[in-house]
């Protein structure tokens, strides 16, 4: 099942390598070439999914039968039948802040294996990182208010919905409407009622009464089906009528949210419901939330849907998975605009936040008191940490919380952020220069490996 | 497993309906409120996935155990355990062209069931329609050239990759790089080699020689790893050296594709390889393709990836799933800007293409020689046609082919397209007016049902 979750060319290249007994270990480096305009940083995510994919990678009988049908020969099918991912992986842990040109993940494996898993690994890290980075902007906008993932109905597929719940939780969202995702990742499920529920009763009060009777623990009343202030008053009356003394709330889903939130707050406070929460939703994104916060709108929680869930303004990232060494030989690519640096790498971060990251060689000592960002996460095709979806998300969120404190304001700000630029270590620059000189390109660009 | 693929509020509303024995059949209508700026039409897609979801909808023991943990009571859990989707569905077949305010799908079912499936059905139809509509623009741009889906590495998740392959095939893409999607939907898998393959050999010729030896049937050589014209000459030499007489091609993945395609064509033709195909790829979308076509670039096939696969300029649609009747009573919503029309509907299309669609009541006779767009697809929770993933895609593509011929140029054009505006039938307008008068809103908006 996992074996065909790849591009045909990966299978063809792998078949060619296997047939030629090209079993050298290759290292591929996955990084983002440049950030979208409105991103001052990225939040690494998707690693857990990528590692689960690598661990499960195999061709089953149906996969092999299909590959026979499309022309792969018997020796190749036998080689695929035996193939598992046996490589080593270093990666940036989920939740850490990263920038352009910094490896998020490096795979070292026999070249056929490293090639076969390219498509899925690139897909998962790109997608989850895209969403976590967008969700992080919502968090920065919301100040102290809570964020709830409401995206499931318009994510790019059912599984994407679960990924969005997970990635947004890493970025600090407090809850999700997506029940399966809440179960899978130990998130808090959250939900109130829809307009159709209110419409299914003779009037709004009857709907609120029924809902509060059925869900007396923290009911949140959707108050904008007909007229928002009247809806708030209906909720207040029902709360009094049923003698609800626990937490309650109202949700605003349309109109001038700032003005309506103020009106709503006044009605609630006038009725002594000073603890009642106001939840806002409806086409929200970080810019709308920031405007509401700047306007002093008394909103306690934001339900954020589609615009976060597809990362509407930047729904993908310019990511790449590039060969950086074969065997013991570093490889570099000299093509203008698409140059890659040779060798397995490490990213060294200044914990004081006084300067940008340094990208160096994996084996060089950290410069000064800088700390390495990539850690070993898989050896011989097995994860070094046991899989625990709930713990993964919690740890990711803790890492992001810590990195948020470190991130300079220039990269944090929502409008025209300035990402930190990574510099190259002396050792890596030196290797690159020696290789480029040794294999001076004869044309407009080129790729060269040392020692060939 | 399917039972939790929903929003928590759907489960709460359904629980409330079931507890109150509110078993009236409700009709919900799914439509797109407005098209993104650069869309003159939409291509309906995702119906097969939505119907499969409805047919499989159920709560298993694990689902129920989780729902108990988050507070649902025993009678509700017992009702959920028995619940299946038993409703009827009318829908626009996949591949048909649709516009704003036209129902893509209508569900009629006991209100709890209709509510529970909202999230997933809305997700699937919105996503697949988003992608098919973007892919259709690539097809319009490409003229006679073939299109290949290269998106899998940057779609929003693994399953999204399969959905993109399927939706783009409906819109007319000829092949996909995604092997699992090709198997599942009977598509043509397509793939060549990556730069890393060329880099894994001592030089380009050695790589081409190895690849052609291993895949002598229609090899396509990636020629831009070092220097494109030199790469084309290397491919020509290897083709001659190995005596390849079948179909061959080269792929250009960077640089000035128009100029390079011309140079490449000249080299190939000069070597007598007039049948050799030129494939272009690299950050393509409909605008880039249209510019290449307008420039007369001799490109035979385009590999289109990320920008199609996430619908980069409009990664979602403003879709809605709205209650339009309860029992025999039509329901309408009067809120300014979010008004909905009452009752189960039909879309009537002028086969001559002389005027826009008419949205009417499902049971009214078609005006003139207009043809209904929605057809019954599910009855009592069972699909009326047996599921056949391969046939579905083929039939969808045929429908889109036919509708493309019907679509006016003003809606087809890539820049500033003008979608056809649907009008409302006299019968529907009359029902709406009678209901609005009978239940004149007392506030700024409202929802009213007839006969309450």
**Residue-wise pLDDT tens digits, A191-228:** 989 999 999 999 999 999 999 999 999 999 999 999 99
Q: How far apart are CA B425 and CA B323, in angstroms?
A: 20
A153 to B126: CB separation less than 8 angstroms, yes or no: yes
CB neighbours (10 Å) of residue B86?
A: 16
DSSP-assigned states of every residue in A43-96: E---HHHHHHHHHH----HHHHHHHHHTT--HHHHHHHHH-----EEEEPPTT-
How much is the pLDDT for A446? Answer: 46
* DSSP designation for B247: -
Both tokens of residue B270? 């000069």
- What average pLDDT does the structure give for chain A? 94
Of the residues A1, A2, A3, A7, the best mutation for testing chain B's interface (the one with the most B CB atoms within 10 Å of its CB) is A7
Using CA coordinates, name the residue in chain B closest to A444.
B227
Residue A109 has pLDDT above 50, yes or no: yes
- pLDDT attached to residue A132: 98
Q: What is the pLDDT of residue B340?
A: 81
The token pair that represents A325 in the structure block: 């060494």
Residue of chain A with shortest Cα separation from B14: A197
Residue stretches of chain B with pLDDT short of 50: 441-452
Q: Helix B389-406 vs helix B158-170: angle between axes, to the nearest 10 degrees?
A: 50
What would the two tokens of residue B280 be?
């272009």
State whether ipTM is beyond 0.90: yes
The packing angle between helices B228-241 and B257-270, to 10°, is 30
The confidence score (pLDDT) of residue A105 equals 98
Which chain A residue lies closest to B118 (C-alpha atoms)?
A: A153
Determine, for residues A8 and B191 on separate chains, whether the beta-carbon distance falls below 8 Å. Answer: yes
Measured in angstroms, the CA of A325 and the nearest CA of chain B are apart by 9
Query: A22-73, pLDDT tens digit by residue?
Result: 999 999 999 999 999 999 999 999 999 999 999 999 999 999 999 999 999 9
Give me the residue from A1, A118, A123 closest to B155, CB to CB.
A123
Domain regions of chain B by residue span: 8-131+316-449, 142-309
The Cα–Cα gap between B78 and B430 comes to: 44
Query: Looking at CA atoms only, how far is residue A41 from chain B in angstroms?
Result: 19
A11/B191 touch (CB, cutoff 8 Å), yes or no: yes
If one counts every other C-beta atom within 10 angstroms of the C-beta of residue B255, the result is: 18
B72 vs A200, B58, B156, B288, CA distance in Å? 21, 16, 32, 53
**Region A270-292 average pLDDT:** 97
Find the CB nearest B123 among A22, A120, A155: A155
Task: Check CB contact under 8 Å for B153 and A123.
Answer: yes
Fold for the domain defined by A8-131+317-449 = nicotinate phosphoribosyltransferase (3.20.140)
Nearest to A154 among B67, B198, B316 (CB): B316
A154 CB neighbours in chain B (<8 A) are 122-123, 126-127, 316-317, 319
* CB contact at 8 A, B276 and B299: no
Instruction: Classify residue A287 by burial, with Cβ atoms within 10 Å: 0-12, 13-18, 19+.
Output: middle
Both tokens of A197, joined, read 């529920």
Cβ neighbours of A335 in B, within 8 Å: 225-226, 254
User: CB B336: neighbour CB atoms within 10 A?
Assistant: 10
Q: Compute the count of residue pairs across chains A and B with CB atoms less than 8 Å apart.
A: 302
Question: Which superfamily is assigned to B8-131+316-449 in CATH?
Answer: nicotinate phosphoribosyltransferase (3.20.140.10)
Distance from CA of B326 to the nearest CA of A (A): 7
Q: What is the pLDDT of residue A29?
A: 98
First to last CA, chain B: 38
Packed helices A8-19 and A74-82: angle between N→C axes, nearest 10 degrees = 100
What is the C-alpha separation between B189 and A8, in angstroms, rounded?
Answer: 7
Name which of A347-356, A409-418, B33-42 the model is least confident about: A347-356
pLDDT in tens, B154-211: 999 999 999 999 999 999 999 999 999 999 999 999 998 999 999 999 999 999 999 9
Q: Are the beta carbons of A153 and B323 separated by less than 8 Å?
A: no
Overall average pLDDT of the A436-447 stretch: 55
pLDDT in tens, B321-335: 999 999 888 887 766
Contact B374, B349 (CB under 8 A): no
Nearest to A13 by CA among A89, A88, A118: A118
For B149, the enclosing helix (H) or strand (E) is strand B146-149
pLDDT tens sequence across B211-240: 999 999 999 999 999 999 999 999 999 999
Q: How far is residue B128's CA from residue B132's CA, in Å, rounded to a whole number?
A: 6
Among B123, B161, B198, select the one facing A123 at the smallest CB separation: B161
The reply to whether residue B123 touches residue A225, judged by beta carbons under 8 angstroms, is: no
Residue A358, pLDDT > 60, answer: yes
pLDDT of residue B440: 52
pLDDT of residue B1: 72
Pairing assessment for the beta strands B329-333 and B447-449 based on DSSP bridges: antiparallel
CB-hemisphere CA count at 13 Å for B28?
Answer: 26
How confident is the model at residue A348, as a pLDDT?
98
State both tokens at A257. Answer: 């949210």
pLDDT at A334: 66
Identify the CA nearest to A300 among candidates A168, A144, A151. A144
Residue B334: its pLDDT value, please?
A: 66
Q: Chain A closest CA to B386's CA: distance in Å?
A: 22
- Separation CA A46–CA A33 (nearest Å): 18
- Facing A7 at nearest CB: one of B7, B177, B452: B177
CATH code, residues A143-309: 3.20.20.70
State pLDDT tens for residues A383-392.
Answer: 999 889 999 9
Q: Residue A452 above 60 pLDDT?
A: no
Nearest Cα residue to B439 out of B431, B450, B428, B430: B450
Q: Sort out which chain A residues have CB atoms less than 8 A from B312's CB and list them.
A: 315-316
The single residue listed with the structure tokens 């048909």 is B96
Q: Looking at beta carbons, which residues of chain A come within 8 Å of B202?
A: 452
Residue B409 burial (C-beta neighbours within 10 Å; 0-12, 13-18, 19+): exposed
Closest-CA distance of chain A to residue B351, Å: 32
Same fold, A8-131+317-449 and A143-309: no
Cα A122 from Cα A124, distance rounded (Å): 6
CATH architecture of B142-309: Alpha-Beta Barrel (3.20)
């Amino acid at each position: 099942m996992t074996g065909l979750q790849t591009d045909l060319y990966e299978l063809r290249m792998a078949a060619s390598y296997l047939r030629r007994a090209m079993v050298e270990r290759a290292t591929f480096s996955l990084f983002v070439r440049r950030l979208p305009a409105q991103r001052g940083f990225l939040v690494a995510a998707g690693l857990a999914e990528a590692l689960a994919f690598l661990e499960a990678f195999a061709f089953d009988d149906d996969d092999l039968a299909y590959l026979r049908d499309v022309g792969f020969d018997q020796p190749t099918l036998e080689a695929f039948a035996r193939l598992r991912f046996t490589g080593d992986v270093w990666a940036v842990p989920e939740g850490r802040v990263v920038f352009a040109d910094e490896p998020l993940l490096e795979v070292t494996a026999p070249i056929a294996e490293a090639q076969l898993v390219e498509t899925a690994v690139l897909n998962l890290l790109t997608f989850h990182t895209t969403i976590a980075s967008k969700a992080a902007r919502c968090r920065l906008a919301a100040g102290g208010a809570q964020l709830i993932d409401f995206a499931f109905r318009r994510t790019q597929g059912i599984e994407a919905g679960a990924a969005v719940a997970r990635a947004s939780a890493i970025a600090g969202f407090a809850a999700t409407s997506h029940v399966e995702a809440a179960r899978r990742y130990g998130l808090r499920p959250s939900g109130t009622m829809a307009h159709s529920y209110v419409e299914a009763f003779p009037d709004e009060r009857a709907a609120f009464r029924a809902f509060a009777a059925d869900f007396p623990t923290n009911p949140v009343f959707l108050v904008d089906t007909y007229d928002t202030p009247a809806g708030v008053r209906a909720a207040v009356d029902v709360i009094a009528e049923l003698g609800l003394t626990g937490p309650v709330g109202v949700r605003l889903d349309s109109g001038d949210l700032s003005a309506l939130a103020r009106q709503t707050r006044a009605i609630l406070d006038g009725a002594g419901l000073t603890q009642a929460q106001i939840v806002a939703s409806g086409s929200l994104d970080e810019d709308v939330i920031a405007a509401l916060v700047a306007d002093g709108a008394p909103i306690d929680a934001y339900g954020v849907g589609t615009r976060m869930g597809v990362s509407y303004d930047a729904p993908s990232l310019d990511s790449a998975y590039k060969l950086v060494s074969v065997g013991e030989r570093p490889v570099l690519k000299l093509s203008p605009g698409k140059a890659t640096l040779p060798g397995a790498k490490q990213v060294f971060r200044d914990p004081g936040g006084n300067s940008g990251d340094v990208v160096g060689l994996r084996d060089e000592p950290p410069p000064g008191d800088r700390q390495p960002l990539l850690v070993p996460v898989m050896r011989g095709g097995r994860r070094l940490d046991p899989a625990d979806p709930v713990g993964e998300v919690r740890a990711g969120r803790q890492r992001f919380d810590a990195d948020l404190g470190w991130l300079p304001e220039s990269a944090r700000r929502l409008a025209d952020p300035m990402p930190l630029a990574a510099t190259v270590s002396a050792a890596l620059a030196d290797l690159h220069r020696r290789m480029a000189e040794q294999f001076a390109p004869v044309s407009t660009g080129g790729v060269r490996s040392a020692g060939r």
